[in-house]
């Protein structure tokens, strides 16, 4: 993942968290997760989880609290050499 993509995903996730931050904590975390689950494609969610794994990720604490509620996509399967022409 390029550094630019990383920065954009962090920015977007933090913007979503900022929107829901005025709600009670449990509702805010659910709101962040629900938005990401509905509107982010699996590739974006997969990259978000890669970002979460790094301690210096600069994600909002609210995004981190929402992480367990975000649907984790299946890993990308390596290409099958038999199907590659």
Q: Take residue 69 and report the two structure tokens written for it.
A: 């509620």
Task: Please state, in angstroms and rounded to a whole number, the distance separating the CA atoms of residues 2 and 26.
Answer: 32
Task: Enter the pTM of the model.
Answer: 0.84
DSSP 73: P
Mean pLDDT of the chain: 91
Give the pLDDT score at 84. Answer: 66
pLDDT-derived band at 67, boundaries 50, 70, 90: very high
21 has pLDDT over 70: yes
50 has pLDDT over 60: yes
1 has pLDDT over 90: no
């Amino acid at each position: 993942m390029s550094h630019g993509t990383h920065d954009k995903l962090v920015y977007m996730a933090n913007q979503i968290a900022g929107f829901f931050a005025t709600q009670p904590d449990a509702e805010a975390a659910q709101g962040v997760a629900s938005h990401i689950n509905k509107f982010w494609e699996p590739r974006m969610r997969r990259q978000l989880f890669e970002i979460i794994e790094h301690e210096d990720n600069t994600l909002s604490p609210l995004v981190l609290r929402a992480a367990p509620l975000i649907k984790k996509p299946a890993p990308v399967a390596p290409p099958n050499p038999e199907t590659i022409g």
